[in-house]
Structure 1
């Protein structure tokens, strides 16, 4: 049965890191759009479009960042719980093995 269901704790840890990175990158991109000045990213019409984009998407991206944060917290908890369960099972099996050898 142990081969039927496996959880790769390293994959869960990687997923958490990836989610955090995505949230940070979105925040940086949003701030870059809002901080654009004439000449930095192109003509004033492009700067205006970037600022409009930043204003329009600020709420939506904030909501997306919140969802990423909540998902990251959930994956962190799952990772921790699986680690604890794995340790408990190993300890229990060690105790059983000791008792069987007596």
Structure 2
């Protein structure tokens, strides 16, 4: 039989880290907006920045959708492992005799 362990603490940390991923991408997008997508001096550069900003926003939306799905899945996995561990502990704990 294979040696297999699951750290529910690690699953919780992974879910937290994934949530922070979208926030970091938001900060990058905000920095790009603060740099201004217009007025850089060259029309082609302004257009490129505008295109990049739109692409970044779309990509960020997709990342957030994936993070949400992963977060929900990780939460269910963590709950499942916690429940199984509790049930196993309960089943293996000797019960007092009446």
Name the residue aligned to 2:3: 4
Q: How many residues align?
A: 94
Paired with 1:35 and 1:86, the residues of 2 have a C-alpha distance of 49
Residue 21 in 1 paired to residue 20 in 2?
yes
Paired with 1:91 and 1:72, the residues of 2 have a C-alpha distance of 28
Normalised by the length of structure 2, the TM-score is 0.74
For the aligned residues, what is the CA RMSD?
2.8
Show structure 1 runs of 5+ residues with no match: none
Show structure 2 runs of 5+ residues with no match: none
1:1-102 → structure 2 map (5 Å cutoff): 4-37=3-36, 44-45=40-41, 48=46, 49-94=48-93, 97-98=94-95
